[in-house]
Amino acid sequence: MKRTFSLLLVALLGASLATACSDDPDPSRSTPDAGDEVDGGDIDGGGDIDGGNDTDGGNDTDGGNDTDGGNDTDGGNDTDGGEVPDTRAELHTYATTGVLTFTEALEGPDGDLIVMGVSNSVGAGDKDTTLARIGADGTPVWQKALGTADFDRLASLITTSEGDFLAVGTTQRSGNFAPWLVRFDAEGTISWQATYDVTSTEMDELNDVVADGLTELSDGNFAFGVAGTFAQEDENHLGYMVIDGDGEFVRGTWVLENADVPVALLGDEALTVVGNQTIVFPSSPALEKIAAVHFDDAGVPQWALAHLQNDTEVHDVVQSDDGNLTFAGWHANDDTERSDAWAMNVTEAGAITWQRVFAHQDSEQAFSVELANNGDVLLSTSSIAGSIDEGNYTGTAHILRLDPVTGDLLDTQSLGLGENQDLTLYDTLLLSDGSVALVGESLYTELHSELSGALLRASSIDELDTCANLEDSPAFPATNTAMESPNIYDDVEGLTGDLVVTRGSVDIFQVVDITTDQGSTCPL
């Protein structure tokens, strides 16, 4: 998925963004300000990965009997009478001398995971990106930190059609934020890194440009979302850049829709760029707004959703095969003064088909959205209570399964971790063998007093209760929110333009092999 931008970056963007909420973990996390994700529901909307049964209907290939009378774990029979494999879920934690958070995971070779994160205690600076390959047993194959002495944060990660990996995010160049890309393979070998100085045909002065959201195009090039000052002073606008497989700039465009940070980029020919804007008022709290712009395959903007609800922020977007987009994030509840999980479905033409808010007794945010095998929407949300400093910091994650046509709440599952034990999960990965991996951070105090990277793996969602404590599902009353029509671009003259891009040096970037203290625990 995912994954999207951090309070770490927002804090560095200046006073105009200082109060912005974010969809990414803040390593300080001393107050409850956000949500976390966990996939506590069934992947296919009601059963195991394959619908609740194994592929041969519960029996083995010889018609229900094995050669030695042994039985397998699903009510059928195995072929050799050997030991039944251990299918219990496992939680692995990875600690450094400071904060380490895992933010995204992809499937690697042989059931291994490629995991991306952020740390304030390893690498060359105080905020660096971490990359790791972690084996199926939870043991790291390799771990690296990348960055400079300044802020360096990779935010989105994809597997390319060639089988290696590409990540995009933001670094600092000459005091300004700038896009940063890294391409690497499953052995941890970096093929290339690239940074870019980005201006436009209308604004030739370098300003902050942040990057997030990444996709591979049908022609083999890659596109990622950007936000920066491209047309007007003191205003940030959405756009995207296209590069080739070696990181060379191909083309780029911006559109006059305000956004401070991009969140997602979807499509392989026609593209939809999604971002968030923070509006600061002199004497009242800041507001969050959403911006989404759809471009055709020639780069011409077709429609925009410039503002959906006051104080709503998107964290993740997923696209279905029919082109529909499902957004996930949070919406401020004026009555309770809390944030509530929020989701919205938009057609390829920009029409909102449904938009829902799901209230909880605590502040709740949706950080991830996935589509189950049967098409159901899996909304990963979390609530946080207490604080690290006071020793009562806990997080409870939920999975809300929604009807993709109506947005109706079908069921809810909750993952509670007990007193003074926190597990925050920011990305959920469904692997090709039907297993599930969830990554995030843990305040597992027996291992470390700081937040540690966390990896929870299970043979299926239904096995999570063999490691964690599944609580009774809480109430999430759903509320319809206002529908709004898209802004259709009849004439784009003066509303869009070209980006001017120069590839920068990466000589100051360091790649450091790192190690972590590892722990494993069940039950939580």
Indicate whether 234 belongs to any domain. Answer: yes
CA distance 18 to 26: 13
- How many independent structural domains does the chain possess? 1
Instruction: Answer whether residue 377 is part of any domain.
Output: no
Distance CA 522, CA 93 (A): 12
pTM (2 d.p.): 0.81
Residue 444: predicted pLDDT: 59
Whole-angstrom Cα distance, residue 78 to residue 497? 63
For residue 320, give the 3-state DSSP assignment: coil
What are the residue ranges in the chain where pLDDT is below 70? 1-87, 281-286, 306-310, 384-395, 415-421, 444-449, 462, 465, 468-474, 481-483, 523-524
Q: Are 329 and 37 in contact (CB under 8 A)?
A: no
Mind listing the pLDDT tens digit for each residue in 314-354?
A: 999 999 999 999 999 998 877 778 889 999 999 999 989 99
How is residue 331 written in tokens? 């919406």
From 229, 233, 343, 334, select the one nearest 285 (Cα to Cα): 334
In a domain, 77, yes or no: no
pLDDT at 479: 74
Assigned domain for 156 exists: yes
pLDDT, tens digit, for every residue of 96-129? 888 899 999 999 999 999 999 999 888 777 789 9
| Per-residue pLDDT at 8 | 39
Q: What is the pLDDT of residue 448?
A: 52
Location of structure tokens 């903007």: 301
Residue-range definition of the domain harbouring residue 159: 150-307+487-518
- CA dist 179 and 140 (Å) reads 28
Query: What pLDDT shows up at residue 166?
Result: 98
User: Are the CB atoms for 348 and 323 separated by under 8 Å?
Assistant: yes
**Tell me, what's the pLDDT at 450?**
75
Give kind and range of the element (H or E) at residue 7: helix 7-12
Q: Which amino acid is at 362?
A: D
Cis status, amide bond into 523, omega within 30 of 0? yes
**Count of CB atoms situated within 10 Å of the CB of 243:** 23
Residue 218 lies in a domain: yes
